[in-house]
Structure 1
Amino acid sequence: MNAWPTRSILLVVGVVAALIGINILAHFTTGPASVLVIPVAAIVLVAAARLAGLGWREMGLSRTELRAGIPYAVGAVVAVFAIVSVAVAIPATRQFFLSDRFDSASAAAVAALVTIPLQTVLPEELMFRGVLQGGLGRLFGVRWTLSLGAVAFGLWHVTSSLGLTAGNAGLSGVLGSGSVGQVAGVLGAVAATTAAGFVFGWLRHRTTSLLAPVALHWALNATGAVGAAVAWHLPS
């Protein structure tokens, strides 16, 4: 384990506190604030981290790191699209893509090309795999850095998964749509996003580049939206 310099500890504590506040604002406010808070906060956190001494390289954002992530990014996108295509084609797994939010091709296209990258993927990767992982890496070894970052990412999704089963026919059919189903949906979402956070973090560590987890994160979310639009128009 590295030394525990006060400046790095304050950086991590400040980032975690900011993430809690950002999450609350994003999911319990209405209007433009709820839409803009996460993207704007991500930019502010990156700027604050730079002022606190966190380097572009530590956040996976230097030119060298970004170039190094290109092959992994392309491979991640191709692999995810292939797997999701198969899952949507199989009736037994197709039901889990039936999200009410993406029941039309236009809604799925806007989500995949605009909303998901700008409001979810880029801000979350900047905050979690960029700033938070960079800060944790100054204090811990790789295992603890990835584990703590993954847990934080999983807990980040508690609020966004509160209505998960209500808007997904496949999930509500399996877990139920009442309070028990809601709790099961939240626990399942936290477990899944914690696991995803670990994979994203490992990919960020393995490639030294933020581009690789950005691509994988986008591919998973975007194919979910596109897969839902396709699933609604295929025979059950």
Structure 2
Amino acid sequence: MGLPLLWSNMLLPRSALGIRGRTAANVAFATVYGAAFGARPNWCSRRGLRWGAAAGTVVVAGYGAALAIPPLRRRLAGFAGRAPEVPLAEWAAVHIPLGTVYCEELIFRGTLDPLLDAAFGGSGKWFAAAAFGLWHVHPARSAGDSVPATVAATAAGGLILSWLRRRTVSATAPALLHLALNVGGSLAPLAARAQRRTLDQPHDFAGG
């Protein structure tokens, strides 16, 4: 449990790598970590794919509903200023799937969850959730977010993702849900801002 936290909160931040370097380093760390500790992600699980696709669809529908409801759309638009260091297409197609989803799901759901289940039984999920929350301490500080709130929210999210892994015996289902949440979280605020600008533009109703 300590190795991922040391990596995320101390070693990687001190590496002074750019975003592309951090993504490559994260992928390398997760792959080596999984190999060293006998990861069992079971990526090719059909059950995991079905559950993950269903969960991802619910998330996408939720973002769509938020964009359709004015108060929620305005709230989403407020997050549009958090632009990544790279083009949005690269961020959504490379850095989220590889630097975030692949790494975190392989480390936490594919490796730590089975190990903690074997060591602690049903109580293992609480340790896994705590570790997942603490993994986000430095990212929260870098973004200027509340560290306690971020840790609590991501730990709660970790419980859901771990439940999916246990339900499907695969990291594919939580990975697809994680992907939908993060990609949607990057694209929905921009869509909300664009939609808000369109609605705020004056319209010329003159004419025959």
TM range, normalised to the smaller chain? 0.7 to 0.9
Pair 90,164 (structure 1): closer, same or farther in 2 beyond 3 Å: farther
Report the equivalent of 2:193.
232
Report the equivalent of 2:63.
84
Q: Deviations over 1:150-199 (max 9, x none)?
A: 1110111111011435xxxxxxxxxxxxxxxx5xx222211110110000
Aligned-partner Cα distance in 2 for 1:222–1:62: 20
Report the equivalent of 1:49.
37
| Residue aligned with 2:62, SS | helix
Shift of 1:62: 6.6
Pair 151,220 (structure 1): closer, same or farther in 2 beyond 3 Å: same
1:191 aligns with 2:171: no
> Which AA in structure 1 matches 2:3?
A
1:21 aligns with 2:23: no
Report the equivalent of 2:116.
136
> Which AA in structure 1 matches 2:104?
E
> Which AA in structure 2 matches 1:218?
L
% identical equivalent positions: 34
Report the equivalent of 1:206.
167
Aligned-partner Cα distance in 1 for 2:195–2:163: 36
Aligned-partner Cα distance in 2 for 1:93–1:62: 35
Mean Cα displacement is larger for which, 82-91 or 113-122?
Answer: 82-91
Aligned-partner Cα distance in 2 for 1:26–1:231: 33
Report the equivalent of 2:102.
122
> Which AA in structure 1 matches 2:13?
H
Structure 1, unaligned runs of 5 or more: 1-15, 51-55, 166-181
Shift of 1:110: 2.2
Structure 2, unaligned runs of 5 or more: 198-208
> Which AA in structure 1 matches 2:149?
G
Q: Quick one: which of 107, 111, 124 aligns to 2:87?
A: 107
Pair 30,196 (structure 1): closer, same or farther in 2 beyond 3 Å: same
| Pairs aligned (count) | 191
> Which AA in structure 1 matches 2:7?
I
Report the equivalent of 1:171.
none
Aligned-partner Cα distance in 1 for 2:88–2:190: 6
Q: Point out 4+ residue stretches in structure 1 off by more than 4 angstroms.
A: none
